[in-house]
Structures are given as C-alpha cells and as structure tokens.
Amino acid sequence: MSFLFSQFRGSTAPTHIARVRAVKSREDEQEEDEETGIYRATPLRISPSIGSNRDVSRTPTRSHSNMERMNQSTETESALLLREENRRLRAEVERLGAAMWDRTNSKAEARRCSLLQQLLNQRTAELNEAQSYLNKLDDYPGSTILEMVEGLNSEIFNAATSINSLYERSGKMDLMEIGEKLEVFNHARIVAKAAIGEHLYSANCQIDEALGYADPSNPEEPLPLQLALQRILIQWCSHLLSGFGSSAVGQALDATYRIVRSIEEPSVSAKWRTITAAALRQQEENCIPGVADAIMAVLCICGISTVTEEFPKVKQKVATRLAYLEKMALKLRTAMLEGIASSDMEIISVDSDTPFDPPAMTDIFSGGRPSKKELGKGVLCTVGLGLRKATTRRANQGAMQEESFVMKLPEVVLISALQ
C-alpha cells in the first residue's frame, strides 16, 4: 500500500496541486478586477475529468473538421445534382437530336418514296405502251387495204377518163397557134415526153413531126391518151405510197427502215415505222401543180387549144380531180404505214419496157391468159397498182428472214397494144 501511495504522490499529487493553485490565482485576479472595475474574462476551468492539455487543444480541430465535412457534403450534393442535371440535359439533347434526325430522315424518305413512285409510274406506263405495241392489233385488216387499193385504181381510171372527155369537148389548135406560141409547145413537148415516154408520146402527139405517128382515120383515138393519163396518175400515186417518199430524206429513211427490219422484231420495226410516218405526215410536199402541168402538157401535144375560154376551165377541173385523188392516196398511205403492225404493205408498180412476166403481172388486154408470143414483150405502162404483204420472222440462226405474199398483181399494158 505504501508503494502504491508513494507512486500516486510521485505522479499525480504535484500535478493536482498545480492545477488548484492556478484556479486560485485566477479567482484572486477576478476579484481584483471587480474592485478596480476592470472585467476580465474568467478563463475556462478545466476539470480533471476533461483530460490533459493535449485533449483541450484538439477540440477546435474537430469542429473545423465537422464544418469541412459539412461543406464537403454540401459540395458533394451540389455536384451530384449538377451531374444529374447534366445527365438529364444530355439525355434531352440526345432525344431532340434523335427526333430531329428521325424527322429529317422521314422527309428524305418521303421524298425518296415520292421519286420512286414517280419512276414506277413512268416505267409502268412505258411497259404498258410497249406491251400494247407488242400485242397491237392491226387497225386495218389486209382485206380492207386491198379494197382501198382497188378503189384507188378505179379512181385513177375514172380520172383519166374524165380528163379525156374534157379534151374531146375542148377546142383544138391550128398551125397558126403553134407558130404564135412556139415556146409554150416546146415546153409541152419536153414535159410530155418525160412524163409518158417515147412510145406514148409518139402515139399521142398531133403536132409537128409527130403527125406521122397518128392514126389518119381516127387521129383522136381515146386509147393512147387514156393510157398516157393513167400512166401519169399511176406514177404519181405510186410515188405517194412508196415508203417515206422519193426525196433525199425519204430515201435515207427507207434505207434506215430496211436495216431496222433486218435486225429487230416486227413489233419494234412496226413501231419505228409508225412513229416516223406520223412525223413526216406534216412535211409532205404538194405535187399537184407538177402533175397538173404534166397532164396539160400531154393535152397540148394532143392538140388542145390554149387560146380558147375552155382551156383555163379544163386546167382548174384537172386540179380539182387531182386533189380528190391525192386525198384517197394519202388515206391509203396512212393506213399502210400507221395502221398495220403485223406486217408491211407495199404497193407494186411495173416500170416501162420491163419484160412481161405473167406470174408477176397481169395484162389487161389478154384476159388473164397471155399467149406465148406476148411473153418477154415490153411493158408500155402500169394501169393498176398491185399489193404485196411482207412479214419478217427470226430464223434459227438469229437473223431476220423476210417472207412476202402478193395479194394483188399489178395490171399492165404491153407495147403491142398500140400496134
């Protein structure tokens, strides 16, 4: 026990005594301050239970740490709120961007769909049009075309007969008129000879040196003039009905069409022909004045008077008749070039001086039964147009092969008919 007490005194008693003395000293100082009127704050008394000086010095540090912890906690909460707000705003921006992207894509997709629909409609229309051409039926059957050709031949014959009648009813020239209008008759000689050929010119001419070739007993025999007029009209109608015309452009188009027919299917070549013919329809030349001039030249070499009152009337009636004939020919041309898709309809005409060939032509004066002596004789002129139907098909080798069928033989007159 004495050991424990000695240890206590050696360690704790002096410290406790010092603390008591310090407290007593502070109380005395406070009493002196009250007497003098000077206030001094009483220092904080530290009880032994508080602990040592080391514990006192730690108290303000913990408070500061708590403040810092509170501040840090507040800052952390603010940071979390800011992060959450940023996250929310970022999500909103992404949503708006996605919506704008969708809207832009929707507009672009709508435009794309619209363009695709337009393209589809265009392709559908083209396909329907192509299909209609591939399966297009003929607007005119072959029998109708044949009837139109026969009707045109009849009109040519009637027109020649009518003009021949006008000539017979008109006044005739005399030698004095020939001398007075030498230039007019010289022009008539040139034009008539080019229009009807040497044989018909010699058979019809009633002026100058050609009088020796006329029939003395009947110088106005109607047959030579009838044949001459039919030849002029047949040549003119054949010119109107031959492909795309005899001009440079028409000949080039004919050559091009032959190439198209040789390499393309009939439906394609028929479409090309139809479009080309329709485009050229408005560019047709008026040939009536030239044909009328040729007919009047023939009438002049036959002896019609050019100084009578009937002559201008005859010329006008000839032009009127030609206009009607041209209308018929152009109608037939439109039907052949634009109304037939399954084949090609071609007009047949025989040139003068061509050797007579019964399988290819018909002599109207032989009754369809030509004699052996007529074989090989020259053709004087064509008086009736023929008709041929031509079709093309692809052969085994892939090349286009043409097949033709004569629906009507051309009608001709031989040179021997004038003898």
Q: Where are the chain's structural domains?
A: 1-51, 73-135, 140-342
The residue ranges of the chain whose pLDDT is under 70 are: 1-66, 68-69, 71-72, 75, 130-136, 208-220, 282-285, 367-376, 398
Which two three-digit tokens encode residue 285?
Answer: 């030349």
* pLDDT number for residue 4: 38
Single out the residue of 274, 255, 289 nearest to residue 345, CA to CA: 274
In this structure, the number of other CB atoms found within 10 A of the CB of residue 306 comes to 21
pLDDT tens, residue by residue, 140-182: 888 999 999 999 999 999 999 999 999 998 888 877 887 788 8
Strands 411-414, 362-363: parallel, antiparallel or unpaired by DSSP? parallel
Does the global pTM surpass 0.75? no
* pLDDT number for residue 399: 74
Single out the residue of 301, 120, 331, 54 nearest to residue 200, CA to CA: 301
182-204 and 222-241 are packed helices; what angle lies between their axes, rounded to 10 degrees? 100
Single out the residue of 290, 275, 265, 289 nearest to residue 244, CA to CA: 275
**Which residues neighbour 215 within 8 Å (Cβ) at sequence distance 6 or greater?**
221
* pLDDT number for residue 393: 81
How deeply is 377 buried, as exposed, middle or buried, from its count of CB atoms within 10 A (0-12, 13-18, 19+)?
middle
Single out the residue of 387, 335, 322 nearest to residue 141, CA to CA: 335
Which two three-digit tokens encode residue 59?
Answer: 């108290």
Q: Which residue has the tokens 């005399």?
A: 174
